[in-house]
Structure 1
Amino acid sequence: MTREQYILATQHNLERPENQQVYQVGIYGWRKRCLYFFVLLLMVTMIINLALTIWILKVMKFSVNGMGNLKITNKGIRLEGKSEFLLPLYVKEVHSRKDSPLMLQSDRNVTVNARNNLGHITGQLTVGSNAVEAQCRRFEVKTEDGKKVLFSADENEIAIGVDKLRVTGPEGAVFEQSVETPHIRAESAQELKLESPTRTLTLEAPKGVHISAAEGELKATCRRELELQSTDGEIFLNAKSIRLGNIPQGLASSSSTSSSNLHQTVYEVCVCPSGKLFLSPASMGSTCQSSSSICLRI
């Protein structure tokens, strides 16, 4: 293109027709005012949101180490003061500070569950207002060092591993079934009483039963019959004096009743064929045969 052609073309492009309209680019009028209003409303909202965020951070005591009483440490999460949990809490270990106890409190009850890999409950401890319940396969109470089991319970048996079991209730201990123990002893200066109010009381041992009262009396009382039985041995009574009270007394002859009652002081012990004992007035010979009519009495 020559220079003249370029000048002519430029002049031709600069010429505007008289009827050509000019359009202004931008937002004017009520649209502009609405835009400014929304921008101002957005700024106010952002300022209020920022102020509320700062207020929440201040009230909740957010910091680099945690939030309020909740502190994040290298060993885990540390809570100071009282904390309230509205939903279940899943943790691996819970322990208190060295100088303060750990207290779990609830308006209804406190339940601690142990689950397996499938989520099934394998152990449960519930502390309620009426009772403390433990649900597990085996319950154990050990000593401080954890080497000796003091108490254990499962479906088959209950074992008490202490050296001495003390029952301080006034009614003592009540057992509905049999009790197996090598030694039963009362507290010092206290009485030992074995009682069955409505049923029989049986003491059995494969090598013998030893009953001893070193400093006191030994009493055996029952409402009906008291039976001492030895199948392969003998019953040996060894004491400074042996007394049999309330033994019925027989009379040798009815004619000498008045005289014998006034002067008789010595009697002999007689035995009926049934084993019943009775007294007969002693004489030069045995009078058991003459007083044997007492054996017929019921």
Structure 2
Amino acid sequence: MDESTSLDVETLKITQERYILEAQTVQLHGSSCDPVYPVGLYGWRKRCLYFFLLLLLIIMIVNLALTVWIIKVMKFTVDGMGYLRMNQEAIRLDGISEFLLPFYVKEIQSRTDSPLVLRSNKNVTINARNSQGQLTAQLTVGPGAIEVQCQRFQVRTTDGEKVLFSVDEEEISIGTDHFRVAGPGGSVFGRSVETPLILADGSQDLKLESPTRTVTMEAPRGVEISAAEGKLKATCRKDLELRSTEGEIFLDANTIRLGSLLPHGVYSPHWAPRRPTVYELCVCTNGKLYLSPADSSSTCHSMSNFCLWS
């Protein structure tokens, strides 16, 4: 190793020792001269922190008090809340309940000692739908009417065995033993009525009337009109027609009277002075009846000219 190399190494050592001494000196001077800063919150920051902690505590107490008050007012229990009780089988509501949105339920049943009341300011609508969600039946109770939309409407007895009233698109069926109309106007039918028996009450009269049209009674095996304890009266404005296409018209009574039947015909001269008060009943070929003065023999033939005039 030459002399220049040894000088460089010694110079490097001297420089390193000098740097270490200077660094130690700087550390000694720095540790003795650094300022000391206090740790923590002081002044207005501390007061703000305490204020926010106090406000948070007050909010928590108020929130807890409101929660306890709501639980007490709403009557929250393990079984439910208020008048609502829930179990595995059903939900029970005691008192008045209000539903603001559609209510879907399988069965609604009231208590055994109180009725079930449904109230609404406008109407109460009950819908029935199939598995596809399509409307199959609807019951609407409104302020002016009760509307039922279904394929068939039935009213049954309490045991559900007998149908009392049934309505569909084809017919209306009444299954009661008696159908009573208590109104003074009676029953008004716009079209035909099919029934095996029309019977009046024991203390009332039976009246079949058509004010502006005709009354027609038809049956494939005959029509029977019977008045067991009273009289039978048929009144019309124009013609009363009794017609039998294949049989006969049979009038069977102790006395058959034809009231308001005026005498018609022309008297012969030899009958004029006698002015008879007894007449015989004659009939024309067209079925019209007339009276002829009675004599020892029939005078209908002599008065037959009346049939030509009528």
User: Which one-letter code corresponds to 1:50 in the other structure?
Assistant: L
Between the aligned partners of 2:187 and 2:256, the Cα distance in structure 1 is 33
1:251 deviates by 4.8
Between the aligned partners of 1:119 and 1:28, the Cα distance in structure 2 is 70
Q: Which has the higher helix share?
A: 2
Match for residue 262 of structure 2?
248
Match for residue 242 of structure 2?
228
Task: Select which of 283, 287, 290 maps to 1:275.
Answer: 287
1:256 deviates by 4.8
Say which is worse superposed, 272-281 or 83-92, in terms of deviation.
Answer: 83-92
The answer to whether 1:136 aligns with 2:150 is: yes
1:39-188 matched pairs, under 5 angstroms: 39-188=53-202
User: Which one-letter code corresponds to 2:91 in the other structure?
Assistant: I
Task: Select which of 221, 235, 252 maps to 1:238.
Answer: 252
Provide the secondary structure at the position in 1 that maps to 2:248. Answer: coil
Match for residue 285 of structure 1?
297
Task: Select which of 23, 34, 51 maps to 1:20.
Answer: 34
Between the aligned partners of 2:295 and 2:255, the Cα distance in structure 1 is 23
Task: In structure 2, list runs of 5 or more residues that go unmatched.
Answer: 1-23
Q: Deviations over 1:42-62 (max 9, x none)?
A: 111111111111111112222
Between the aligned partners of 2:54 and 2:154, the Cα distance in structure 1 is 70
1:27 deviates by 2.8
User: Which one-letter code corresponds to 1:81 in the other structure?
Assistant: G
Between the aligned partners of 2:96 and 2:143, the Cα distance in structure 1 is 21
Between the aligned partners of 2:102 and 2:219, the Cα distance in structure 1 is 54
The answer (yes or no) to whether the contact 1:114–1:122 under 8 Å persists in 2 is yes
Scaled by the length of structure 1, the TM-score of the pair is: 0.88
The answer (yes or no) to whether the contact 2:124–2:141 under 8 Å persists in 1 is yes
1:177 deviates by 0.4
The answer to whether 1:189 aligns with 2:203 is: yes
1:39 deviates by 1.4
1:174 deviates by 0.6
User: Which one-letter code corresponds to 1:112 in the other structure?
Assistant: I
User: Which one-letter code corresponds to 2:145 in the other structure?
Assistant: A
Scaled by the length of structure 2, the TM-score of the pair is: 0.85
Between the aligned partners of 1:256 and 1:134, the Cα distance in structure 2 is 81
Moved over 4 A (4+): none
1:80 deviates by 1.3
Say which is worse superposed, 178-187 or 84-93, in terms of deviation.
Answer: 84-93
Say which is worse superposed, 222-231 or 85-94, in terms of deviation.
Answer: 85-94
The answer to whether 1:34 aligns with 2:48 is: yes
Task: Select which of 218, 234, 239 maps to 2:232.
Answer: 218
Match for residue 198 of structure 1?
212
User: Which one-letter code corresponds to 1:49 in the other structure?
Assistant: N
1:146 deviates by 0.7
- Matched residue count: 284
Provide the secondary structure at the position in 2 that maps to 1:152. Answer: strand
1:278 deviates by 0.5
User: Which one-letter code corresponds to 1:179 in the other structure?
Assistant: V
The answer (yes or no) to whether the contact 1:113–1:124 under 8 Å persists in 2 is yes
| Greater C-alpha radius of gyration | 2
Of all paired residues, the percent bearing the same amino acid is: 61
Q: Deviations over 1:97-144 (max 9, x none)?
A: 111111112222222111223333221111122111111111000111
Between the aligned partners of 1:277 and 1:115, the Cα distance in structure 2 is 69
Match for residue 18 of structure 2?
none
The answer (yes or no) to whether the contact 1:248–1:277 under 8 Å persists in 2 is no
Provide the secondary structure at the position in 1 that maps to 2:273. Answer: helix
Provide the secondary structure at the position in 2 that maps to 1:191. Answer: coil
Between the aligned partners of 2:41 and 2:135, the Cα distance in structure 1 is 69
Between the aligned partners of 1:231 and 1:98, the Cα distance in structure 2 is 65
The answer (yes or no) to whether the contact 1:152–1:159 under 8 Å persists in 2 is yes
